[in-house]
Amino acid sequence: MAKKRNIIVGQSGGPTSVINSSLAGVYKNAIERGFDKVYGMLHGIQGLLDEQYIDLSTQIHSELDIELLKRTPSAFLGSCRFKLPEIHEDKAIYEKIFEILNRLDIDAFIYIGGNDSMDTIKKLSDYAILTGQKQKFLGVPKTIDNDLWGTDMTFGFQSAVDIATQTIDCIHTTAASHNRVFIVELMGHKVGWVTLHAGIAGGADIILIPEIPYDLKHVISAIQRRNEQGKHFTILAVAEGAISKEDAKLTKKQYKAKLAKRKHSTVGYELASQIEKATGLEVRVTIPGHTQRGGSPVPFDRVISSRLGVAAAELIAKEDYGKMLIMKGYDVATLPLEKTAGKLKYVSPDDQIVLQAKHLGISFGD
């Protein structure tokens, strides 16, 4: 009798519009490769701890169901933002997780998520090795931020850039009828890839991202220069984590305290108030927010998400574990979990794309 082999899959972190294509890829290929059961954690590791999981064969009955799953935006299994403690900080939580995994006779644990998710499976993998558990682990990178170190692309990113760019495009059409400044504040607390790409694609005049702290005086003079050239509107693409040069010099604690006292709810509104005061121009703020994680995924993301899901199932079939799947250019490859777990891939001021944006006449306020 062939050895019974079961998989459990979870989704975590900020879902993207295409996160289920990889889930569909894993499920379809695992069943085709003879796995007995594919369980889905409901709401990631946090749900698993509450014994919230389903046998996916009770939900997915046909090829059509798989096709529909691929196109269902947002996380079919629900998501969570739960960072596992270090093993030495709370061994009991690991004992509980592995008690459940052993009760379900799980051989492979696949987690679809961003940095915190890769950190989670690195910790679980370390615990399994330390305590001789049979479970093996694989990470499938997903985040709209494209900030996972080690992979050239994460699925969800292009779809988010598409929505962010459409927002800037729509602002363009109304901006021309007013002598105003428009701020489009986009997602990206720590990393500015979405804002950088959407800003260039949407023709923003100024792009402010967390990795390139801005000097307000330079932002103001860029706006005034445009006015002097007879261009009576300016569009700024601003990442929600954009920061001034002076604030970038503060410690994390000092900056957090300053934010707590900030009069305006976001950096976009703070900048709007400062620009109005300095220039006398009217400023309007648009924040597409979580719409950047929804909607219909762009074809590029559907393709890489499905490919990563298939590749995950192939690795499991070959029992090639302890890795995160990555995109190297347009090819799927792998990286050992310990190399990437939790590391961020930042924009560098020296990146070719930043220098080329500057040659396009875009100001980064630096």
**Which are the catalytic amino acids?**
145
Backbone dihedral angles phi then psi of residue 234, each to the nearest 5 degrees: -135, 135
Which one, 159 or 334, has the nearer CB to ligand F6P?
Answer: 159
State the minimum distance, in angstroms, from the CB of residue 293 to ligand F6P.
5
Q: Could you tell me the smallest distance in angstroms from the CB atom of residue 289 to ligand F6P? A: 8
In the complex, minimum distance from the CB of residue 241 to ligand F6P, in angstroms, rounded to a whole number: 7
Assess 44 for contact with ligand F6P (CB under 6 A).
no
CA gap 195, 192 in Å, rounded:
5
Rounded to a whole number of angstroms, the minimum distance from the CB of residue 213 to ligand F6P is 18
Buried/exposed code over 4-30 (b: 16+ C-beta within 10 A; e: otherwise): ebbbbbbbbbbbbbbbbbbbbbbbbbb
Euclidean distance between CA atoms 194 and 182, whole angstroms: 18
User: What is the footprint of ligand F6P within residues 164-203 (CB under 6 A)?
Assistant: 187-189
Nearest to 218 by CA among 258, 246, 199, 253: 246
Could you say whether residue 264 binds ligand F6P (CB under 6 A)? no
How many chain residues are in contact with ligand F6P, going by CB under 6 A? Answer: 12
Is position 81 an interface residue for ligand F6P (rule: CB under 6 A)?
yes
Q: Judged by CB under 6 A, does residue 145 bind ligand F6P?
A: yes
Taking the least distance from each CB to ligand F6P, the nearer of 144 and 308 is: 144
Question: Which residue in 12, 20, 125, 143 binds ligand F6P (CB under 6 A)?
Answer: 143
- Copy the structure tokens of residue 105: 């006779």
Whether the CB-CB separation of 181 and 220 falls below 8 Å is answered with no
String of contacts with ligand F6P for each residue 276-315, x by CB under 6 A: -----------------x----------------------
Q: Which residues pair with 235 in a beta bridge?
A: 182
225 binds ligand F6P, rule: CB under 6 A:
no
Q: What one-letter code names the amino acid at 250? A: L
According to DSSP, residue 229 is labeled: T
Q: CA-to-CA distance for 98 and 102, rounded, in angstroms?
A: 6
Q: Environment class of residue 227 by beta-carbon count within 10 Å: exposed (0-12), middle (13-18) or buried (19+)?
A: middle
Of the pair 74, 227, the CB lying nearest ligand F6P is at 74
> Considering the complex, what minimum distance in angstroms separates the CB of residue 79 from ligand F6P?
9
Q: Compare residues 13 and 322 and give the one whose CB is closer to ligand F6P.
A: 13
Per CB under 6 A, residues contacting ligand F6P are: 13-14, 81, 114, 143-145, 187-189, 240, 293
